[in-house]
Amino acid sequence: MRPEHPVVLITGASSGFGEAVARLLAANGFHLALGARRVERVRVLADELVKAHGIKVFAGAVDTRETASVNAFVEAAATALGGLHVLVANAGLASGTFKLWETPDEDLEAMLRTNVEGVVKTIRAGLPHVRKAGWGHVFFIGSTAGHQPYEGGSVYCASKFGVKAMAQTLRLEVNGEQIRVTSVDPGMAETEFSNVRMKDEAKARAVYQGVKPLAAFDVAECVRWCLMLPDHVNIDEILVKCTDQASVHKVHRRA
Ligand SMILES: NC(=O)c1ccc[n+]([C@@H]2O[C@H](COP(=O)([O-])OP(=O)(O)OC[C@H]3O[C@@H](n4cnc5c(N)ncnc54)[C@H](OP(=O)(O)O)[C@@H]3O)[C@@H](O)[C@H]2O)c1
């Protein structure tokens, strides 16, 4: 049965979608476990949300690429908050815009280890707690890159096609349990994503030039909506793009 104040674990809560989901769910009375590598940011956010909303928040360092780090973060969060109900496997990144044959090992590993392995490790550690609670929801954060490949995105797209496959698989595997599985798949959204990808401020700004992209809050709203629906309703997938983006390759830009 749905608890009065479900506990939501979010990876990548130091920025972008993860931070926005934390803010929105805090305002809706959810308790939170927030993790990222930049733990200071997460701690500051946790303090703010506790003061503003009177909820319980656990903040911890986690590197989702590392099994021991993920396991320690998830166990500490579940102990501090008395269990877990919702997992938001959000931590992820794109690194570079290389043609497939040019992709350096460092960027290849960063994307596959974070976007694929990190998601598995997060859900693998968190799911026993969700099962124990008997009510839960697992969110994957996919991408339009998991629906339509584009030049310069081969490995990132592969990782997000992988996320889509994992969401579809997990939904089959937990069928019969009160655990919903949703993939929220955004198009271009202005977060720190392009700064991380381009490693260059000016190039990152150019991505959004003349466009009104999605904001992190828009994506958080998709998560909140899926979560608030009655327990018998599972939204499998939300493909959400800004109005200026008709497809990966067609974006309207104002002069
Ligand atoms: N923005 C977009 O256009 C867009 C579109 C579709 C999908 N997405 C996806 O949305 C998700 C969130 O991205 P965002 O746009 O919010 O970007 P962002 O602002 O750069 O946030 C990414 C978050 O992931 C965390 N992270 C990265 N590597 C990590 C690791 N190894 N361990 C733990 N945390 C890690 C970062 O925290 P630390 O650096 O502090 O660890 C940060 O909090 C990603 O999966 C991304 O692929 C983004």
Tell me the three state secondary structure of residue 255: coil
Establish whether 156 is a catalytic residue.
Answer: yes
Number of separate domains in the chain: 1
> Per residue of the chain (255 residues), what is the pLDDT tens digit?
899 999 999 999 999 999 999 999 999 999 999 999 999 999 999 999 999 999 999 999 999 999 999 999 999 999 999 999 999 999 999 999 999 999 999 999 999 999 999 999 999 999 999 999 999 999 999 999 999 999 999 999 999 999 999 999 999 999 999 999 999 999 999 999 999 999 999 999 999 999 999 999 999 999 999 999 999 999 999 999 999 999 999 999 999
Q: Which of 17, 30, 58, 156 is catalytic?
A: 156
Inside any domain, residue 65: yes
* Ligand 1 atom showing the smallest separation from residue 93 Cα: 47
Q: Which residues have a Cβ under 8 Å from the Cβ of 214 and sit 6 or more positions away?
A: 186, 187, 188, 189, 190, 240, 241, 242
* Ligand 1 atom showing the smallest separation from residue 159 Cα: 47
- Which amino acid does the sequence have at 177? E
User: What six digits make up the tokens of 35?
Assistant: 């993790």
Inside any domain, residue 77: yes
Q: What are phi and psi of 167, to 5 degrees?
A: -65, -45
Inside any domain, residue 36: yes
pTM of the entire predicted model: 0.99
How far, in Å, from the CA of 255 to the mean position of ligand 1? 29
Residue range of the domain that includes 183: 7-241
On whether the CB atoms of residues 32 and 57 are closer than 8 A, the answer is yes
* Ligand 1, pocket-test mutation among 19, 23, 24, 37, most atoms within 8 A of CB: 37
